[in-house]
Amino acid sequence: MSPGGSSPSAPGPPERARRATDPEDFDGRGLRGDGGGIDIGYGSIRVRLFGRDGIIVLLLVVVVAGVLYQGWDRKTEHAAMARSLSITNCILTLTVEERVRLRAKIAPTTLEAYCPWIEP
């Protein structure tokens, strides 16, 4: 017996009140799908998160997506900067006469003749 004189209750969460829209076999212990939350799915695969957990998961997904996008964006910026530095390096290694000839006939493939390491 418990200190208050009543018998101990069954373990588990307290039962929730039934609603008129609940199915007959609903015992009140499960989650109802009418609350605010996140419900993501495709076909038979579904993920449902409600309340605080849903907000936390949503924030984590947004942060991870942002980090991955930044990494991809920096990689493209790095490639453009490396090409620009290669062109600058090529021009600096040319003599004054070669630079004058280069300016006279500038074309997208002109630098490849002087500096073959530059990618088009």
Domain count, the chain: 1
Residue 120 falls inside a structural domain: no
Flag whether the pTM goes above 0.75: no
Task: Return phi, psi of residue 46, to 5°.
Answer: -140, 145
Residue 7 falls inside a structural domain: no
Residue 71 falls inside a structural domain: yes
Mean pLDDT on 27-40: 61
Q: Is the pLDDT of residue 32 over 70?
A: no
Domain housing 98: 37-114
If you average pLDDT over every residue of the chain, what do you get?
Answer: 76
